[in-house]
Each structure stands twice: as C-alpha cells, then as structure tokens.
Structure 1
C-alpha cells in the first residue's frame, strides 16, 4: 500500500509539471499566432490546462511581477514542484513504505 501511495504522489507531481509545461507552450503558440482559439480542440485544451494549472500559478502571479511581458511564475512553480518531489522521496517515501508496506 505504501508503494502505491508513493507512486500516486509522484504521478500527481509529474502530471502537474507536464501540465504547466504544456500550458506554457500553448500560450507561446497563441502569442506567436501559430494556432488560434477558433479551433475547438485547441480552445478546449487551453481551457483544461488553464483550469488545472491556475490554482498553482495564481498565488505566484500575484507576488512575482512579469519581466518584460514574460510570466516567470511557471518557472518558479516548476522549481518548487521538483523540489517538493525530491523532499518527498528523501523524507517521506521511506517511512510510508516501511509503515504501510
């Protein structure tokens, strides 16, 4: 059971990292007019990624100003997610597996 919990936490953090990367790439594609919002699939994908990543990014967007029109909050959140993943593996994963098996 402990291994499953460790896997689940790792999978959730990894998915959030990929969602943030995908959202950033999609926003760049919109900014450079490579794709547009009129495409239904692209619009739904953008709405989904925005809904998933907004709760993590918004607190940092309020604190961190944009640098020359570039939002650096995704970079900060990616660094914090990777940091939390390392901390989780080094401090919590071992005891969880040892206790729950």
Structure 2
C-alpha cells in the first residue's frame, strides 16, 4: 500500500505547486493591470491568455462589476487558497490512511 500512499502524496504535491504557480500568475496579471502595458508584449499576452479563461466567468458572476475595481483576481486567489487547504489537505490525510 506504500505505492498508493506515495502516489497520492505526489499528486497532492504537484497540485499544490501548480496552484501556487497559478496564484503568482494571477498576482502578476493584477500588478501589470495597474500600469498601461504593451498588449503585444509576449509576457503580457501570456498573462492575459493564462488568466482570462478563469477570470472572465468570475467577472460575469460579480454583481458590482461597474465600480471600476476588478475584484475577480482576489476571488480566484481566495478559491485557490481554499483548494490548497481543503483539497490538498484531504488528499494528504487520505494518503496517510494507507499506512
């Protein structure tokens, strides 16, 4: 059963790293939006392409989107923190049950 435990722990660790990296991409996008970036810059294009599929539905869901402040990155970051705490913590506890 140690194989199942190690597999589940490895999946949890990879998922945790992926969520952390995506959170930093969201933070970079939010910081870049404070200035007037060149839309044809490859880094700016990557940040918009990587985050817009997640941020656009959240923006449509927000009731106060006409205030001039985009809170969708904050909501997605909170969702990532929830997933890191709940999902990854649960996966690690499930892996410990295989001992």
TM-score normalized with structure 1 length? 0.78
| Distance (Å, rounded) in 2 between the aligned partners of 1:4 and 1:92 | 10
Seen in structure 2, the aligned counterparts of structure 1 residues 56 and 96 have a Cα distance that, compared at 3 Å, is farther
Q: Which residue of 2 aligns with 1:76?
A: 75
| Distance (Å, rounded) in 1 between the aligned partners of 2:61 and 2:92 | 31
Q: Which residue of 2 aligns with 1:51?
A: 49
TM-score normalized with structure 2 length? 0.80
Residue 66 (structure 1) shift:
2.3
CA RMSD of aligned residues (A): 2.0
State how 1:86-97 maps to structure 2 within 5 Å. 86-96=85-95
Q: Which runs of 5+ in 2 are unaligned?
A: 1-6
4+ residue runs over 3 A deviation: 96-99
Structure with the bigger RCO (C-alpha within 8 Å, sep 6+) is 2
Q: Which residue of 2 aligns with 1:33?
A: none
| Distance (Å, rounded) in 2 between the aligned partners of 1:47 and 1:61 | 19
Aligned length: 92
1:14 aligns with one of 13, 17, 20: 20
